[in-house]
Structure 1
Amino acid sequence: MTGIDKRPVDGPVDVRAPGPRGSGLGGGLVGDRILDGRNHGGDDQAVYAYAREDLDEWGALLGRELSGGVFGENLTTLGVEVTGALIGERWRVGPELLLEVSVPRIPCNTFAHWMSEQGWIKRFTQRAVPGAYLRVVEPGQIRAGDVVEVVERPDHDVTIGVTFRALTLEPELLPRLLSADALPEEALAKARRRVAAAR
């Protein structure tokens, strides 16, 4: 069983901070299910966003159409820079909801089984277009077609793409993550260990 396969909805969806991973409400969208609460969900992974443009590129590479939600994203965006989003960047979605970019998605075996593509984790990792997890700053309702507006950008250059590469194939980038204090503690601790080991 997997909670990856998300389906579009027409009506409003309530979004709130779910609490700590493993002991809170799971995901940020009311009605969404997180089946592996030990490794997924919680405040730092409350909402997952993936760009429609990136899904279309994957679809061309895989030779099949990919519907919104197929990667498990809660928000399939259009015209929003997701991989280039800065850690700590804030998005206003619709009139109420305020989200903050927290960390990239790291592919897992469940995702690989769901996609049924040979070498999926390696391919997804090498392409380094992971999508972004967001935390809920101000709860609210969202609807399909809501505008996503970047309302605040921090003063550093640590993007979702850089963070993903640092946490996966390019650990030499880990020290760069230390300037992004909005990263979850787990990622910052990994960066601090890398810096300490280099001394």
Structure 2
Amino acid sequence: MQIDDIKERKLEVSDYGIYLLSPQKVVSFFKKNKNKSKKFLNYFQKNQKNYIESLKEGVWLPILPIDSIEYLIKLNEKFNDDWIELFEINNFNIEIEDDNNLWIGSLSNLHTWCMEDYDSSKDFNSYETLDDETLYSSFRFNIPKGKYLVNIKGYKRKEKLEYPEANFGFLFELNEVENFDGFKDPREDEKYSFNIAQM
């Protein structure tokens, strides 16, 4: 199934977070730092210096904590009038390498890094529940190689809908730049709050 067959990109979040990354950039960063561990999150939790370096270089962008529910995900595409914007936080770094791929997914995917999960022939990763519902844990977006500043906007529906509709969503806007000028750490909880379900 291609992404065009899916009406909306509804991301099932577990482990209280979302990430953005370019798989090839991750591979390049790990190679440069001689990291052979597949435990992605554990690696950055134990290596604060490399975590900060990864943010400076735009290797990935972790967004947490947020409630573990479904979110509507949009990239450079506006939400309609059924939604209200709750926040906007600007200028996080992300770099896309030669694969031209940006993946947005549930943080739970990153406990173990598996490059095969990010094959360019796939538009998403999904799994089936016991009652045959398809849930999506990550989506691929085709983005030209380059450095980008990411603006994050959080939304909620004006009128709550019943499950399986998503009542909260994130819009990611990418603005290409020549070089990164500084960086922001989204884990600075005293500065940034992304948990739209609690706003």
Give TM-score, length-normalised by structure 1.
0.27
Decide which structure has greater strand share.
Answer: 2
Q: Relative contact order, CA 8 A, sep 6+: which one is greater?
A: 2
Decide which structure has greater helix share.
Answer: 1
